[in-house]
Amino acid sequence: MNLTQFARQSDRFVREYDYGETRVFAVDLGRSDATVDVVDDTAIVAFEDGDQIDLSVPSGAEVDAFIRNGILTIEVTEA
């Protein structure tokens, strides 16, 4: 699922910022019990209760993802 689909399906707040070669996505998860890991072209968000969200990220790009205070941030820099 991409971030646009995720935002529509979950009614969560999602913002996108464009800084030239880098795009930043900020997602309010509404909870702080999550971790995130990027594997290939997927950002995997795992919650302590076993729920999981898989988000597509551009392949071939440098991707950094982290969660602070329930806000998922994904930074995508085109290679």
| pLDDT tens for each residue of 18-39 | 999 999 999 999 888 999 999 9
Residue 79 lies in a domain: no
The number of distinct structural domains making up the chain is: 1
Domain of 41 in residue numbering reads as: 3-73
Nearest C-alpha neighbor of 66 from the set 27, 40, 31: 27
Nearest C-alpha neighbor of 35 from the set 2, 5, 65: 65
Helix, strand, coil share (%) of the chain residues, nearest 5: 10, 55, 35
Residue 78 lies in a domain: no
Residue 53 lies in a domain: yes
Higher pLDDT, 77 or 2: 77
